[in-house]
Amino acid sequence: MRTTHLLSILAISSGIVAGGALLAPAIAQNASANTSSASAAGGSPDAPWLTIVEVVSRLEAAGYSQFDEIERERDHYEVKALDREGRRVEIEVHPVTAEVLRTEVKRDKR
């Protein structure tokens, strides 16, 4: 009984180790892809994010105003403001460069 128990533990342990060895390359490849995409987007993954004040300042210089909401998402800032034409917009902003990644015009709440 003791030998059977020991063999069961060894079999489970070797299965866990083998599973980890099989998953390690996939995890490393995914991390490498994330680093490459962050570098391609104009900032390194370790670069410090701009503060909300800096983002607002740069967006104001680009013509945006009346900021209603600024949220820090996983990989960008999400900003609700008015554009140069006075339209309500939702903007995705790069956290390191303050580049506008996407703009979506919203309906007016009136």
Domains of the chain, residue spans: 1-40, 52-105
Mean of per-residue pLDDT scores for the chain: 80
Confidence of residue 14 (pLDDT cuts 50, 70, 90): confident
Give the span between the Cα atoms of 20 and 90, in whole angstroms: 42
Q: Strand pairing partners for 4? A: none
Closest residue by Cα to residue 62 from 96, 92, 94, 98: 98
Q: Of 3.30.1370, 2.60.40, 3.10.450, 3.40.50, which CATH number belongs to 52-105? A: 3.10.450
pLDDT value of position 10: 66
- Which tens digits make up the pLDDT trace of 65-94? 999 999 999 999 999 999 999 999 999 999
Q: pLDDT at residue 55 above 90?
A: yes
Residue 43, pLDDT > 70, answer no
Whole-structure pTM value: 0.58
Contacts of 59 (CB under 8 A, 6+ apart): 67, 79, 81, 91, 93, 98, 100
Read off the pLDDT band of 36 (50, 70, 90): very low
pLDDT computed for residue 102 by the predictor: 97
